[in-house]
Amino acid sequence: MKKRRFGLALSLVLAAGTLLSACANNGDKAGDKKGFSVAMVTDVGGIDDKSFNQSAWEGLQKFGEDNGLKKGRGGYDYLQSQSDSDYATNLNKLVRSDYDLIYGIGYLMADAVGQIAEQKPKGKFAIVDSVVNKPNVASITFKENEGSFLVGVVAGLTTKTNKIGFIGGMEIPLIEKFESGFRAGVKAVNPKAKVEVQYAGAFDQADKGKAIASSMYASGVDIIYHAAGATGNGVFSEAKDLKTKDPNREIWVIGVDKDQAPEGVVKAGGKTYNVTLTSMVKRVDVAVYDVAKKTKEGNFPGGKTIEYGLPENGVGIAPTQDNIKPEVLKAVDEWKQKIIKGEVKVPKTREEYKQFEATLK
């Protein structure tokens, strides 16, 4: 009888121990989940590309700091891709590290994000600058046409020759948004101005950017807006070379994605000038922060496309505005309010631009 009682007691103790152990393990898992973690994979540009990769990392860093996260596993981090073959590999590394939300930065990563998201249906992913139609992927896009419209207003009211240039990287729908919005902004405030459009066919060939800019400036163009990534570095190079030769010449570049005022600094004739008129900034940092916040709060926008425009502070003109006249800035703000209120619909395509142009006649 004593043996039976001892055996029963021992069984209860073991059962209780197992139950407590299970509760402890579940508690550990729950504890792990309390520490929300987020990471991103860059494209080949890296976090110091002075463009959207850098902006995305800045947004992620701010989110981490604001939420008491540490850099590294269990907090916030990034992996840098050296080539497109690294995209899927890096995404998988972050999945294995149990990050709660993983970003792919740039439209070039769309295929890799779609592939890994399908393989890991329980994971949460986000793609910047593209749309991936998966239930566990949040797609982040921007109304680049709206920000481009505003810098078009600046160009249209600043040009002295009424000849303005646009240089795109690759001729794809994304860059067509920049082109169409810019042309609309110019035409809205200066019907006499003409915008010459050329594409370099690449985002990483500064020499092509410089050659196209050289031809445009030689034809009388005095302002060039580039949406060409590193190819745009050649536009700045050509403008600075021309400014060095003739310091009195008014020649300008409009930058893209980030405030590119630092790229336009040049010394000529014993003085320091800046050939950057303004830049169309795309607030990838704001979008990355916003989606991370939503996900942490349990509102992950999986399967949805979130588009950031002027109302969301997703696009706009750069904070460096030294070379823009006060009356031009006033006009920019007036047009900005019209767009936000829905009084002006900014074109995204060349076809929509034609329709917009027709309304001005």
- Domains of the chain are 35-142+284-308 (3.40.50.2300), 144-281+325-359 (3.40.50.2300)
pLDDT at 45: 76
pLDDT at 13: 38
pLDDT class of 198 with cuts at 50, 70, 90: very high
Q: Give the angle 128-303-174 at the CA atoms, nearest 5°.
A: 35
The answer on pLDDT for 3 being more than 60 is no
126 residue type, one letter: A
Question: Mean pLDDT, the chain, as a whole number?
Answer: 90
pLDDT class of 10 with cuts at 50, 70, 90: very low
Q: Please answer whether residues 284 and 59 qualify as being in contact, where contact means their C-beta atoms are separated by less than 8 angstroms.
A: yes
The arithmetic mean of pLDDT across residues 280-307, rounded, is: 96
- Does this model's pTM top 0.85? My answer is no
Q: For the segment 328-345, what is each residue's pLDDT rounded down to a tens digit?
A: 999 999 999 999 999 999
- Calpha distance 119→165 (Å, rounded): 45
pLDDT at 5: 44
Among 147, 176, 316, 166, which Cα is nearest to 253's? 166
Q: For the segment 146-189, what is each residue's pLDDT rounded down to a tens digit?
A: 999 999 999 999 999 999 999 999 999 999 999 999 999 999 99
pLDDT class of 21 with cuts at 50, 70, 90: very low
Among 206, 200, 195, 194, which Cα is nearest to 239's? 206
pLDDT at 107: 86
Q: Please answer whether residues 52 and 129 qualify as being in contact, where contact means their C-beta atoms are separated by less than 8 angstroms.
A: yes
Q: Please answer whether residues 253 and 226 qualify as being in contact, where contact means their C-beta atoms are separated by less than 8 angstroms.
A: yes
Q: For the segment 24-45, what is each residue's pLDDT rounded down to a tens digit?
A: 333 333 334 458 999 999 988 7
Q: Please answer whether residues 155 and 216 qualify as being in contact, where contact means their C-beta atoms are separated by less than 8 angstroms.
A: no
Q: How many CA atoms lie within 13 A of 39 on its CB side?
A: 24
The arithmetic mean of pLDDT across residues 40-51, rounded, is: 83
The 3-class secondary structure across 171-197, one letter per residue, is CCHHHHHHHHHHHHHHHHHCCCCEEEE
pLDDT at 203: 84
pLDDT at 34: 52
